[in-house]
Structure 1
């Protein structure tokens, strides 16, 4: 649908100019084959809806920017970038973009429907082995994005979606960029998970590592440190509980306030964690190292 030979930005402008007056969005409304079931959330310039695909007979999530923004060329450029970035990221740990087009005056991005966000899941107790499994999958997903030179810039619990069979996927590439060179940009991101250099307008792969490290720290400790970090870090004893010293050291390195002390990117972080065969100190779980998803772990006790 989107290829290098078909400039998406131009196409989006053409369709937005030719589109009819936007259809009112309400529960039960139809957008082509999609029937809106409920509003899931709103943030930035877009709203996310739960919907039903009447052709494929499955639930989906619709991300729909406010039609008032579509006259803004910068918004169109941002949509183009998000669509093209997500279309090229084919990985089990990254939410797949199923469809992207104008329907009844609305630009609609369609995604598989998950169970809940990691932010929602963090309100309930998570088994240690499950939390470690999620952490390994998240590192694997961000490492793949970095391999494609994609800088996410908004890694946080709300942007990880949980699916059945203990699967977690990264989404919302609305702030993402293809990293070609270091250059100042606006300080976009989410306070609390944004690296200090990103807040100053200098994001990079190391700042994604910082945000990812904080998400994992929050997942395993139940606490989120405030910058500037001062020892002892909140929840640090809970973080260490049951984890191998190497796994704890990996997390501490990822959230170092000094960029050059962190992993240079999530690829280096993934390489480091791949050398930790037993993430839990009691060795009750071990990394599988499967080629299809090397981050998954086995809970069979080692002999």
Structure 2
């Protein structure tokens, strides 16, 4: 097989692979994190979803992908689950939005246009723009929404994105950069599929300036867990990786855990307010509570932040899996 045909097959698999049982190719390409050294790579979101490995080809350049990959110095074509220390229960990605755009060395991120196909801009569209994303390999340009605007990612009615009780458990993953120079007083929201009030079940992350604490809330129709973290526990004005695991049993939220840059963060306070109303507000917003739509509330609740590579899994990821999402 010619090198070009190898490359075609290799890239084709990277684009079409999913979390179903499948045979994956493992090939070589330059690793941007190791001075362009040729290393092995399995070009899928989660290599643990592969049932078998076969040798692929070699890329002479590192291709762009809307997800992160791991590189290896050695390969094992035997038991992939044992080699990669995979869990026996594979997580399914039920939400994956890059939110940004492909990096173009000829066009700076700040000069690229916001893609309306990834989300709807609410409020003032002039306050949403593309900005440089996290400084990791292959990362896309990110989207920044200033106070007075927010991102509507769509309606997720009858899914565990808006109702945590519909999943056995879940893990959220997002790159986030909170801007404190604009709108950092009062209650400022960064993620909301509900949960911030009893009007809606869901998940929310917000900052309460009167308490100088961040609130991480998961609300189901049966209970609510609201964990609080002191202001200095969350990076401000710089990119960080946010991961949240939500453990659920029989529609009851048993526990919520926060990971910052792959490290577990112990909460400073835990509250258990009342449960929520199912199915009333089911949209997912970035930068606004999903129970508020009125434009005149934008300056009161919208948070100023940049967002990149939002993912949600229908299982609990362990700490090693969470750290792999950062690469």
TM-score normalised by the chain length of structure 2: 0.29
* Structure with greater proportional helix content: 1
Higher relative contact order (CA 8 A, sep 6+): 2
TM-score normalised by the chain length of structure 1: 0.31
